[in-house]
Structure 1
Amino acid sequence: MMRSLWTAASGMRAQQVNVDTIANNVANINTIGYKSQQASFKSLLYQNLQSTSTNNAGENKPVAAEVGLGSRVAAITSTFTQGNLTHVENPFSVALEGDGFFQIRTESGELQYTRDGSFEISPVANGNMLCTSDGNPVLDAYGNQIILPSNRVATDLVVNQDGTLAFPDGTGNPAVITDANGRPVKFGIYQFNNPAGLSKEGSNNYSVTVASGAAVAENGNAAVKQTKTHQYYTEASNVDVANEMVNLIVAQRAYEMNSKAIQASDEMMQQANALR
């Protein structure tokens, strides 16, 4: 079998993954907190055509005689640049400006992280619990569920830029909510040394991996730049439509060229088989 068939086929497979990645970006243009992804590639092994590369005089040639065997996908990397902030009418929606992530707890008890701040409230025994659209509780800086007091109107909630939650006290100065230990109730916001290494769990959620490193809490940590919170806002996707369309055209053309290489190899084999 000709090397070119396998080489071109590997290029088609790689470009198909590239198109899939671009399509996923385009599909999530309106997904809150979505971060665009980009596929990167690397070459496969090279085959030596000559074990010793010399000229007719026995002198070494300046270049080796090697032929490549195609390409493959090396990684699909997320770009965690800041998305535009979009104003909404939901008082429980909070956008992050900075590198932080909200911490939530899933039904299985696993801690996950998200940039999607389109929160809602769910009635519980002692008040109203702040949760995601999937019903997963949002956690405060101490790992506890955020419960809004039942004796206050939930829609009067005030979220300060430092992530603390408060209610109006009638004097024009919102009073910060405190927990059972007298500590201010504040969003649990965390950063990662390598956010691109986070595992994508769907529903705009991420989980910690060895590659991402452990979650670094912002609360009381002067070593990290604090993330600002903006109430009545959500963070839009950071997908650039123009760039994605250009990338899609380039990927499509690369796919077509690889298919042409397969057709050319097939025609060459037909001619070789037709020799008498």
Structure 2
Amino acid sequence: MLRSMFSAISGLRAHQTKMDVTANNIANVNTVGFKSSATVFQDTLSQVVRAGGQPAADRGGTNPAQIGLGVKLAGITTNWTNGAQQSTGRSTDFMIEGDGFFVVEGAGGQQLFTRAGSFDFDSNGNLVTPDGSILQGWMAEADGTVNANGPVGPLSVPYGAMVNPTSTETGRIQGNLPSDVPVGTSYQLGADMFDSQGVLQKVSYNLTKAADNTWNVTVLHANGTTLLPEPPIDPAVTPLQITFDTNGVLTNPAGPGFNLPAFTPTGNPSWTNDVTISLAGLTQFGGANTLAAPKPDGYALGSLQSFTLGNDGTIMGVYSNGLRQPIGQLALAAFDNPSGLEKAGNSSFRVGVNSGIANIGQPGLGGRGELVSGALEMSNVDLSEEFTGLIIAQRGFQANSRVITASDELLQDLVNLKR
């Protein structure tokens, strides 16, 4: 009789735990990056009333008679499936599409991990979680290169940070020169170049048909100065002539292009480097004029205005001078057994004894998911499943309480036998 009561008591405890877990899931139905949990039960030890027997020559075998002694909590599992994507439009909201965790540095330098990608800036420009933990990754070098093999550190976006100017080193003329236009036809293309001080130098390419398959190229500065090419192009031959074969393929110059000399007339003393003008892709076929001069490299002094996030976690800075250059990259962590992580509060986890080490690296590699900017991962709690779980927990608790009541009535009847 007492066995039934104690078994029912263990059932009450187990279903109370199930109710607690379900209540926590429902409470976090709108928590960013929350992962729902579920209870797993298993029976406890059983009392052997009669042991089993082996078959003998004159009789068959017998099975053991065992009475179970109740139920216990086997574990609380976590559902790691992705939650729904909610677009926010905020550039500092990041969502992991797949496996992995954001790496953050909590109070006291503790390394924590989270799926909640709602970040903001602190007064130092660091990207931080709502509780102040600092997002970790790799900051880019001055030239925009990111060393993802180095140790992770705080990620910051230095709004207003200045980037030094870079002089133009390469330009390009490409497209098709119509072969069927009359001699004397001229086309002009403009290009913006920058000298070593970041001062804008406007240059124009003038191409004039001199004869069949022959075109004259003149490069003019905005102040009217003609920029003569340097050797191996003969500077004594003015203007520069380019020629095509009968198939419309450029034959002269035979190399990739020509060089413009360092331009140092009065008023432009800071243009001190040669500029290579590539003619790769320049053709002469019958048809339309498709000449183009893609923007040369080089840029003026600029400041950081905004940023975008790539799927690989690269934070691309957008500068006032039109430059787009990486300023850092987010790090993600993957675990062999994420269910072994310990919850640290504030939607964060810490490494547990059964989680394995944190495999920190670039998003999209090594089993780590990709990132989506301007969106958050919502809770993966399924309310219909949780409400069903509430009913199951309630009925299980109720049924076990009825066992205690019935056992009590049987004990009462037993006591009444003496009267």
**TM-score under structure 1 normalisation?**
0.89
Residue 151 of structure 1, aligned match among 146, 149, 160: 160
Given the alignment, which residue of 159, 168, 171 partners 2:318?
Answer: 168
Displacement after TM superposition at 1:155 (Å) = 7.5
Query: SS of 2:357's equivalent?
Result: coil
Q: Is 2:382 aligned against 1:240?
A: yes
Paired letter, 1:156: S
Change (3 A) 1:173 1:70: farther
Alpha-carbon separation, structure 2, partners of 1:239 and 1:150: 38
**Offset from partner CA, 1:172-215 (integer Å, 9 cap, x none):** 773211xxxxxxx1111010111111001111000001211001
Once the two structures are superposed, the pairs formed by residues 132-211 of structure 1 within 5 Å of their partners are 132-141=129-138, 142-152=151-161, 156-169=306-319, 174-177=324-327, 185-211=328-354
**Counterpart residue number, 1:45:** 45
Give the conservation status (yes or no) of the 8 Å contact 2:335–2:357: yes
Identity of aligned residues (%): 33
1:87-98 superposed matches below 5 A: 87-98=87-98
Name the CA distance, whole Å, in 1 between partners of 2:29 and 2:64. Answer: 47
User: 1: distance between equivalents of 2:408 and 2:51?
Assistant: 28
The unaligned stretches of length 5 or more in structure 2 are: 139-150, 162-302
Task: State whether residues 193 and 213 of structure 1, in contact with CA within 8 Å, keep that contact through their aligned partners in structure 2.
Answer: yes
- Alpha-carbon spacing, 1:72–1:155, altered in 2? closer, same or farther (3 Å): farther
Post-superposition shift, 1:150?
A: 3.9
The letter of the residue matching 2:160 is: N
Give me the whole-angstrom Cα distance separating, in 2, the residues matched to 1:236 and 1:147: 25
Matched to 1:164, the amino acid is T
Amino acid at match of 1:146: L
Deviations 1:6-65 (A, max 9, x none): 0000001000000100000000000000000001011110001124669xxx94554211
Q: Over aligned residue pairs, what C-alpha RMSD do you find?
A: 2.3
Going from structure 1 to structure 2, the CA distance change for 1:275 and 1:84 (only over 3 Å counts) comes to: same
- Name the CA shift for 1:245/1:268 in 2 (closer, same or farther; >3 Å): same
Please name the residue that 1:108 is paired with: 108
Q: 1:164 to 1:52 in 2, by over 3 A?
A: closer
What CA deviation, in whole Å up to 9, does each residue of 1:220-257 have, x standing for no partner? 995x2342111110100001111111111111111100
Distance in structure 2 (CA, Å) of the matches to 1:275 and 1:229: 74
Tell me, in whole angstroms, the C-alpha distance in 2 between the residues paired with 1:6 and 1:259.
11
Question: How far apart, CA to CA, are the structure 2 residues paired with 1:86 and 1:147?
Answer: 24
Contact between 1:92 and 1:157, CA under 8 Å: does it hold in 2?
no
Match of 1:6 in 2: 6
For 1:121, the equivalent position in structure 2 comes to 121
| Matching residue's letter, 2:339 | A
Q: Is the 8 A contact 2:45 2:69 kept in 1?
A: yes
Number of equivalent positions: 264
**Structure-1 separation of matches of 2:326 and 2:83:** 29
> Is the aligned partner of 1:270 residue 2:412?
yes
For the pair shown, the structure with the greater C-alpha radius of gyration is: 2
Aligned to 1:182: none
Q: Give runs of aligned pairs for residues 222-261 of structure 1, distance below 5 A.
A: 224-261=366-403
* Residues 2 and 53 of structure 1: CA distance in aligned 2, closer, same or farther (over 3 Å): farther
Higher helix share: 1
Secondary structure in 2 matching 1:147: coil
Which consecutive unaligned segments of at least 5 residues does structure 1 have?
Answer: 178-184
Q: Distance in 2 between matches of 1:226 and 1:33?
A: 16
- Equivalent pair of 1:91/1:155 in contact (CA under 8 Å): no
Query: TM-score when scaled to structure 2?
Result: 0.59
Query: Is 1:158–1:174's contact at 8 Å kept on the other side of the alignment?
Result: no
